[in-house]
Amino acid sequence: MEPRSRTAPLPEVDGAHEDSRATGPDDGPVPQPPLWEEIDVRIMDRRWYGAMRNPAAQVTRAVMATMHDLGVSGPVSVILADDRTVQRLNYLHRGRNRPTNVLTFEYAPAGPQGGAWGGDIILAFPTVRREAMAAGRTVRSHMLHLLVHGVLHLSGYDHHHAGDARTMEMEEARILGRMGIANPWKHRSGRADGGAR
């Protein structure tokens, strides 16, 4: 997981756009966000559909649950992309010519002096799938973790220093626990996981 950027580059989307307010066969209706919240989900890599049922609904629920848990509101765009797209954005905005699991771009610095809260969260399917398999998790569980991580970045959390990283990990574990997702920072034996941030 990479640090957030203070620029917000919503990339051109060549792939399919899926309405985040869709319903799935067993998912039931997706909760409608209040008027001041907008969750826009774009699916650029069709492999996300094979990894879970109704990925747009999964994204919407996770982002809304995290926002409500943190007491924040505003527009969020989530792009379920591929390694190539994420690598291009990572190089363009961060000077790192490699893919990563998630990039987060906030619209304005969070806080009382900042502008509208919100931003873009972009995930790379091959990297997310590879990390999930290595950790013995489902792609869905790992994706939900990365979405919580992204919303925390939009809310001012960071992990550049050990203390900040620990605080962010504890928030991630707490929020994911409320969603019924196991703590990603614990091994099955109960030891803390030193996974990538």
Domains of the chain, with CATH numbers? 38-178 (3.40.390.30)
195 confidence band (pLDDT: 50, 70, 90) = very low
Q: In what order do the strands lie in the sheet with 38-43?
A: 38-43, 75-81, 119-124, 102-106
Q: pTM (2 decimals)?
A: 0.75
**pLDDT > 70: percent of the chain:** 72
Helix (H) and strand (E) counts in the chain: 6, 4
Kindly give the interhelix angle for 162-178 and 55-70, rounded to the nearest 10 degrees: 120
- What does the pLDDT look like over 24-53, one tens digit per residue? 334 555 555 454 468 999 999 999 999 999
The set of residues, in sequence order, having a beta carbon less than 8 Å from that of 69 and lying 6+ positions away, is: 175, 178
Kindly give the interhelix angle for 55-70 and 139-154, rounded to the nearest 10 degrees: 40
Give binding residues for Zn(2+) as ranges.
149, 153, 159
* 111 dihedral zone (left: phi>0; alpha: psi -120 to 50; beta): left
Give binding residues as ranges.
149, 153, 159
